[in-house]
Chains A and B, each alone.
Chain A
Amino acid sequence: MDSVSPLDVLSTTKVCVYFEGVKAVDEVDLEVPRGRITGLIGPNGAGKSTLFNAVSGFVPLTAGTVHCGAQDISGWSPTRIAQLGLVRTFQETRIFKRLTILENVELGSMGSGLSGVKARKAAGDALELLGVSHLSDELAANVALGDERRAGIARAVATEPDFLLLDEPAAGLDDDETAALSGTIVAIRDALGCGVLLVEHDMSVIFAICEEIHVMDSGRTIAVGSPEQIRTNPSVIEAYFGREHS
């Protein structure tokens, strides 16, 4: 896992996203290698969500490029990016509420173009992995938030992505659920061998499972490093922990 070929990296190069002059993301270089879990953190308004949306095609880039392996995906539509194997989840889960949990997850595997039997198997595996297979036949509208969130991740996992972008997967979960989720994210990475980019406010999750952490503030990168390096980085403490814990 030490040497990762550049073909197996999701990377941004000097990505900028400006909204009417506001530099939401400003020249950010980010690397997410396959097979590893990369954390993206920063205080509120740091630009994490905008970068996340830009990488997944939901927000247009003002400048810079995004590469998925050797493929330049700058300016691609969200659909095309997902079909290539870069799949995201949403903080607000965006589950299809009038469909059952199984139908939701099957749409993940069918949307990515898998054929009948394979799609069904991928959906079943994803439900098992996320521990929600007992809810298969429940309408998504009727399940608890924690299960809804897991189903949302299962839907993305069922697409068998090369890169999985998780947007605040622990939001609204209690401590036990959050701890279980950390283990699940590692299990997903191990099962799929995919690269995971994790945006999360809960530092216990970030420091427990990320191999590398990328810290943003005011749209710019302020630090990149291992959890140990980030924990002791003065500018991170100043910008992030300093502000939050003062």
Chain B
Amino acid sequence: MKSSVSTWSRWAWLAGLLAVPIIIVTFLISLTNDVSLIQRCTTALILMVMVIGLHVFSGNSGVVSFGSVAFAMIAAFTSALITIPAEKKPSLFPDMPNFLNWLWSFTVPVPLGILISVAFTAVIALLVGIPLVRLSGLAAGIGTLAFLVVVQVIVTKWKAVTRGESTMVGVPKETTLWWALGAVVLVIAIAALYQVTRRGRRLIATREDDKAAMSIGISIPIERLWGWVASCSIAGLGGALYGHYIATFSAQTFSIALTFFIIAMLVIGGLGSLTGAVVGVIVVQVLAELLRTVETQGIGPVPQIDAPGLTEMVLALILLLVLIARPAGITGGREITSWVRRRKGNVAQGAT
């Protein structure tokens, strides 16, 4: 039998080809000492964590979720609550309900806070996922959107714990460019591993043909639930990092607008491939930065165009054009390894 490339080498190729260029570019950006550029790069990396998180479920299962930002929000608030210095808590949360008073007594270091918040997010994802993964298509979209709205309302109204519409303040600002880069490399490694090994491949099978998947003993709810919990946990990691990056935030930070922004990046890059998730974030972020620069000062021969909202409008136009001209996104839903394979013969075989 013609031997196929082993699972490990497929994983290494996919993760490596995606992560190495990101590491190099981030390193180069850090050398510029341009504070604003480094900030924008950090934000882009954090967004990439969230988009990869969405890809793990939606990309591999073909079921669109509008709920991933809800998990980012849950993790950001959870990590904030346990990392804000204990001495600040009484003044920040004077009405903390009795059953949560234990939160006052301790503070954990930010890395541990992020870990705990990701674990908490995973538990919530498991509970919510059990009914949600049974939905498909439009019903799944509405179900996950409803969950986002529910979390939004709870976070906005539960003032005693979340400070409601006033922003969360006093959150340790510790996320750096390197933390964000580390998180991106980690989630690329996890997402690539997931989709070249049996769990992820079973989920991909349910996306490709649900009846055929069932006919060989693949359980659609179980595979979707694994993907969902992994996906929401990664979104949680992105949310917690974001919280510790901007340090002041509210429910409005994790809005439906952010949800659509993340989905747009995944769709523009190409729904169905990890490469698409990475490419989508880079393309959209670079475009958004260029447009913002045009809005504020102009670039080279392009004069400043003083039109607030230009960025959003042009981005929306690009999304429309991509959807019309290339519905499968820039990558066509294929992995970077499939291009390498085509060029170099059988050097690397891509996970689909």
Residues of A within 8 A of B (CB): 56, 58, 77-79, 82-83, 87-90, 94-100, 102-103, 106-108, 110-113, 116, 119, 124, 127-128, 133-134, 136-137, 155-156, 159
Complex Cα–Cα for A79 and B198 (A): 16
- Kindly identify which residue among B215, B218, B219, B346 contacts A156, using a CB–CB cutoff of 8 Å: B215
Complex Cα–Cα for A136 and B4 (A): 8
B350: nearest residue on chain A (CB-CB)? A100
The answer to whether A79 touches B219, judged by C-beta atoms less than 8 angstroms apart, is yes
Given contacts A110-B201, A124-B1, A136-B4, contact A95 B216 (CB under 8 A): no
Given contacts A79-B214, A107-B216, A107-B218, contact A96 B209 (CB under 8 A): yes
The reply on B69 being an interface residue by CB < 8 A is: no
Given contacts A107-B202, A136-B1, contact A87 B216 (CB under 8 A): yes
- Kindly identify which residue among A77, A99, A102 contacts B214, using a CB–CB cutoff of 8 Å: A77
Q: B156 → chain A, closest Cβ, in Å?
A: 40
Residues of B within 8 A of A (CB): 1-2, 4, 198, 201-202, 204-205, 208-209, 211-220, 272, 333, 346, 349, 352
- Kindly identify which residue among B1, B2, B205, B215 contacts A78, using a CB–CB cutoff of 8 Å: B215
Q: B149 → chain A, closest Cβ, in Å?
A: 32
Residue of A103, A107, A136, A137 most packed against chain B (CB within 10 A): A107
B211: nearest residue on chain A (CB-CB)? A94
Complex Cα–Cα for A26 and B307 (A): 71
Complex Cα–Cα for A137 and B2 (A): 8
A124: nearest residue on chain B (CB-CB)? B1
Q: A104 → chain B, closest Cβ, in Å?
A: 8
A133: nearest residue on chain B (CB-CB)? B1
The answer to whether B349 touches A137, judged by C-beta atoms less than 8 angstroms apart, is yes
The answer to whether B220 touches A99, judged by C-beta atoms less than 8 angstroms apart, is no
The answer to whether B1 touches A98, judged by C-beta atoms less than 8 angstroms apart, is no
The answer to whether B216 touches A98, judged by C-beta atoms less than 8 angstroms apart, is no
Complex Cα–Cα for A100 and B205 (A): 12
- Kindly identify which residue among B208, B218, B219 contacts A99, using a CB–CB cutoff of 8 Å: B208
**Residues of the B chain whose Cβ atoms lie less than 8 Å from the Cβ of A106:** 201
